[in-house]
Structure 1
Amino acid sequence: MDLRKLQRVIIDALEDVQAQDIRVYDTTKLSELFDRVIIATGSSNRQTRSLAVSVKEEVNAKGGEVISVEGLETGEWVLVDCGDIVVHILQPILHSYYQLEGIWGQTSAREIGW
């Protein structure tokens, strides 16, 4: 699946389960391992788990591949590795504490187009 389509599938899956504060970062110049990082917030453990499951199911249904899902046990910070795109789904307190946006730069989704 091409990068733009994969990105759209992931964002749609996150929006379907009411993810908050969805951000997309272009990491092509920062890492050779993946091209995008998507960060989203879920309001509870249950919602972060549901968001991750939604992403996994939608990517698989559209012919993409999910390499791994980490953090479902606690649901505080769930990572979904979709190969070219890595998705971080965090609860608000962890999102605020870790500020992953600072790691991946200031190029957000609206600037790279989603």
Structure 2
Amino acid sequence: MQTEALSSLVIDALEELKGRDITELNVAELTSVTDVMVVASGTSSRHISALADNVVERVKAEGIRPLGIEGKQGSEWVLVDLGDVVVHVMMPETRQLYDLERLWSDLPGDRQEGARGGER
């Protein structure tokens, strides 16, 4: 499945269970780890777990096996690694604390500057 289709499937799975503030970050030019990060908020640790479970169920139904899942039971943050797409589901307070959207938007886009990003 292509990255765009996988990302759409993930977003649909999150929307289906009322994930909040869903954001798709294209990080392909910033890291070799993944192409897209999808960040969403849940209303409770139970909701976060349900959102992550729904993502996993939906991608497995399409024949895709997650590479890893971190932070399940009672967690304020669950990460689902699908290779080209990494999903972060968090409590709003945790999301605000780590501010992944700002973190990834502040990185320099040219990886040729060196491992630490270089100075501009």
Q: Same fold (TM over 0.5)?
A: yes
Distance 2:34 2:97 in 1: 24
**Length-normalised TM-score, structure 1:** 0.89
State the structure with more CA Rg: 2
Residue 22 of structure 2: SS of its match in structure 1? Answer: strand
Distance 2:13 2:79 in 1: 14
RMSD: 1.1
- 1:98 maps to 98
Asked whether the equivalents of residues 6 and 64 of structure 1 are also in contact (C-alpha less than 8 Å), the reply is: no
1:74 is displaced (CA, Å) by: 2.5
Residue 9 of structure 1: SS of its match in structure 2? Answer: helix
The answer for unaligned runs of 5 or more in structure 1 is: 107-114
Counterpart of 1:22, as a letter, is I
| 1:39 and 2:39 matched | yes
State the Cα deviation string for residues 34-88 of structure 1 (Å, max 9, x = none): 1001000000000000000000000110122211111002321000000101100
- 1:24 maps to 24
1:105 is displaced (CA, Å) by: 1.2
State the Cα deviation string for residues 10-34 of structure 1 (Å, max 9, x = none): 0000001100000000111111111
The answer for unaligned runs of 5 or more in structure 2 is: 107-120
Counterpart of 1:32, as a letter, is S
Distance 2:98 2:20 in 1: 16
Distance 1:96 1:71 in 2: 18
Counterpart of 2:59, as a letter, is V
Greater RCO (CA < 8 Å, at least 6 residues apart): 1
**Length-normalised TM-score, structure 2:** 0.85
Percent of residue pairs identical: 38
